[in-house]
Chains A and B, each alone.
Chain A
């Protein structure tokens, strides 16, 4: 039995000369595996850039694109080796189809790799972009990786963004509440978190990043007759009716000393500068500490005559960064991966129950390790099934 399968293997191994024979050889397959391995290695050592990488013009550009280590996974070497591996796989499978024995499983195993590569190839049609949506705003254009932008045909509103933290300060959750708006109507709502994307109109939305905009406050200034309501951020200078006084917003807190929202102002007039802390809940604070203004005149909102300051609300506003993606090749890659796994498991498990193996191991070496599982049988079985030239 062993002898026969070994001869089978040698026979198929010997009839492969010439170009088709070499293209379908296992030697080429192994060489390609090592070549792709080497390219991958280069690709991890040098930082990779998206797209076509070249320098200069004309011939120089062409040569530099061939030799550049910064775009390995899009290079002609990588794609060429991948293509050659596909040809090698197809020829090998085609030969095996003629052998007929146990060929289906090997066909599936290697065909599924072709499915994965084909699905990856469809990635050139994919949508890969990014949206920055300030809380409360609506955006319909996606910024693409190549620098251009694209209209989605519908728009996305960020109703709320929240960044949640553990007591030790580590991030716990980033959450965006999104509304998808088509023709002025909210067509769908979704909550997007890291690891929990949302889907609308065949496009997937991922929580990728966020930005905390500078804190802003609504500050009211009254001079007894007129009242001004101003929205200000840190560093802003407030225009006051009297031209010789400038008010700079130094700092904004959403909760200062557990006393609620507050702003710190620097008031610069002809007589010099002074700081004023304006609390939103100053009435409540004053009722708890009646002599507050005597002890802390800088907390008195009317401390700078003739003006009275108050702050209505303070807060931070967020901008959420949403990844916008669609890759038509994904189902093909998924199917290929699953098929590969199933056939790999079958290749490993099936020879155990095949009658050929049982008969040969029972007649073989009585060593416990070998009876447990005859590895050499598996090799011969595989050689029969492979039918590839070495």
Chain B
């Protein structure tokens, strides 16, 4: 089975999982929710297999490289990473609620990757600029950072909605802080490895390229989230609002920058 077929199947598994989750929450049936969780886990494993299979296919085409080199491959990895982070960082009731947001988001990304005519899904050889050992580590850490920020902001949204007296004591409050912090660490590593790579490839570690500048904007916003939380002593609604602004910034850093002129336009 080709990796494209696997990714197609995963898209529908994620959509099915999402429907089960919705039905489970509307009818308040534990059985549906458990089945949904099982489906999400299975889809996630298959998703990982799809990525590995594309990696293998690139080698049989004689242009072997990590499948992180174009927009299609980054969409597939990004959607895998948000499911990974959601599973790793959340337990119990909170996980089901956050996954109700994450699963359709992952399905949408995969659907867009597979069916949009604007996204080239063929395996291409690497252009000289991408032929570097920094490619994998830079892209993986950036996307794990993005994904943690997405999961953090979704839990932040629940903080806002619940209007809990002390959101920090709420399970999603814990998840929120943990994901912001993990995201901040990964994204810092992503920016640093990107800097080292830029120094090696272009002779400057920082050039105010739109992608670089937007990465800095995202980093500054989540730095503000962490500092506002310290200032208030806990994750308040204000902190959650800043995190949601951060989510917009993450999406712009990833998608929006493609519409600005710059060196990163291929990703």
Assess whether B174 is in contact with A372, with CB atoms less than 8 Å apart.
yes
In the assembled complex, B178 has its CB within 8 A of some CB on chain A: yes
Q: Which of A340-384 contact B (CB under 8 A)?
A: 340-341, 344-345, 348, 365, 367-370, 372-376, 378-380, 382-383
The residue from B189, B213, B223 contacting A44, defined by CB atoms under 8 A apart:
B213
The residue from B125, B174, B206 contacting A166, defined by CB atoms under 8 A apart:
B125
Known: A47-B261, A73-B208. A369 touches B174 (CB 8 A): yes
> Closest Cβ of chain A: how far from B101's Cβ, in Å?
18
Known: A44-B213, A197-B203. A34 touches B224 (CB 8 A): yes
Assess whether B184 is in contact with A344, with CB atoms less than 8 Å apart.
yes
Known: A195-B201, A344-B188. A40 touches B174 (CB 8 A): no
In the assembled complex, A295 has its CB within 8 A of some CB on chain B: no
Assess whether B217 is in contact with A37, with CB atoms less than 8 Å apart.
yes
In the assembled complex, B221 has its CB within 8 A of some CB on chain A: yes
In the assembled complex, B230 has its CB within 8 A of some CB on chain A: yes
* List of B residues within 8 angstroms of A196 by Cβ: 200
Assess whether A40 is in contact with B217, with CB atoms less than 8 Å apart.
yes
Q: Which of A110-165 contact B (CB under 8 A)?
A: 120, 128
Assess whether B171 is in contact with A206, with CB atoms less than 8 Å apart.
no
* List of A residues within 8 angstroms of B223 by Cβ: 33
> Closest Cβ of chain A: how far from B231's Cβ, in Å?
4
Q: How large is the interface on B (under 10, 10 to 19, 20 to 34, 35 or more residues)?
A: 35 or more
The residue from A330, A373, A378, A388 contacting B205, defined by CB atoms under 8 A apart:
A330
- Nearest CB to that of B223 among chain A residues? A33
Count of chain A residues with a beta carbon within 8 Å of a chain B beta carbon: 67
Q: How far is the CA of A348 from the CA of B185 in the complex (A)?
A: 9
In the assembled complex, A79 has its CB within 8 A of some CB on chain B: no
> Closest Cβ of chain A: how far from B174's Cβ, in Å?
5
Assess whether B234 is in contact with A379, with CB atoms less than 8 Å apart.
yes
The residue from A26, A170, A174 contacting B231, defined by CB atoms under 8 A apart:
A26
In the assembled complex, A260 has its CB within 8 A of some CB on chain B: no
Residue among B174, B200, B210 facing the most chain A CB atoms (10 A cut-off): B174
* List of A residues within 8 angstroms of B233 by Cβ: 6, 9, 379-380, 383
Known: A6-B233, A48-B208, A369-B92. A375 touches B203 (CB 8 A): no
Assess whether B63 is in contact with A369, with CB atoms less than 8 Å apart.
no
Assess whether A206 is in contact with B224, with CB atoms less than 8 Å apart.
no
In the assembled complex, A171 has its CB within 8 A of some CB on chain B: yes
> Closest Cβ of chain A: how far from B184's Cβ, in Å?
7
Q: How far is the CA of A43 from the CA of B204 in the complex (A)?
A: 18
The residue from B188, B202, B221 contacting A341, defined by CB atoms under 8 A apart:
B188
In the assembled complex, B214 has its CB within 8 A of some CB on chain A: yes
In the assembled complex, B192 has its CB within 8 A of some CB on chain A: yes
Assess whether B224 is in contact with A30, with CB atoms less than 8 Å apart.
yes
Assess whether B205 is in contact with A333, with CB atoms less than 8 Å apart.
yes
> Closest Cβ of chain A: how far from B170's Cβ, in Å?
8
Assess whether A344 is in contact with B185, with CB atoms less than 8 Å apart.
yes
* List of B residues within 8 angstroms of A48 by Cβ: 208
In the assembled complex, B57 has its CB within 8 A of some CB on chain A: no
Assess whether A26 is in contact with B128, with CB atoms less than 8 Å apart.
no
The residue from B94, B181, B189, B201 contacting A194, defined by CB atoms under 8 A apart:
B201
* List of B residues within 8 angstroms of A341 by Cβ: 185, 188-189, 192
* List of A residues within 8 angstroms of B196 by Cβ: 334
> Closest Cβ of chain B: how far from A96's Cβ, in Å?
12
* List of A residues within 8 angstroms of B181 by Cβ: 348
In the assembled complex, A189 has its CB within 8 A of some CB on chain B: no
* List of B residues within 8 angstroms of A333 by Cβ: 195, 205-206
Q: Which of A5-45 contact B (CB under 8 A)?
A: 6, 9, 26-27, 29-30, 33-34, 36-37, 40-41, 43-45
Known: A30-B227, A373-B174. A195 touches B200 (CB 8 A): yes
Residue among A168, A334, A367, A369 facing the most chain B CB atoms (10 A cut-off): A369
Residue among A45, A375, A380, A383 facing the most chain B CB atoms (10 A cut-off): A375
Interface residues of B (CB under 8 A from A): 63, 91-92, 94, 124-125, 127-129, 131-132, 168-169, 171, 173-178, 181-182, 184-185, 188-189, 192, 195-196, 199-206, 208, 210, 213-214, 216-217, 220-221, 223-224, 227-235, 257, 260-261
Known: A40-B216, A341-B189. 10 other contacts (CB 8 A): A34-B220, A40-B220, A43-B208, A44-B257, A168-B125, A173-B131, A195-B201, A369-B175, A379-B230, A386-B230
Interface residues of A (CB under 8 A from B): 6, 9, 26-27, 29-30, 33-34, 36-37, 40-41, 43-45, 47-48, 73, 120, 128, 166, 168, 170-174, 193-197, 204, 206-208, 323, 325, 327, 330, 333-334, 337-338, 340-341, 344-345, 348, 365, 367-370, 372-376, 378-380, 382-383, 386, 388, 390
23 pairs from A and B in contact (CB 8 Å cutoff):
A30-B224, A30-B231, A40-B213, A41-B217, A45-B260, A47-B261, A73-B208, A168-B125, A172-B127, A172-B128, A174-B128, A193-B128, A208-B202, A327-B204, A334-B196, A337-B192, A337-B195, A344-B185, A369-B91, A369-B94, A370-B169, A375-B176, A379-B229
Closest 6 CB pairs of A and B: A194-B128, A325-B203, A369-B171, A44-B210, A390-B231, A375-B177
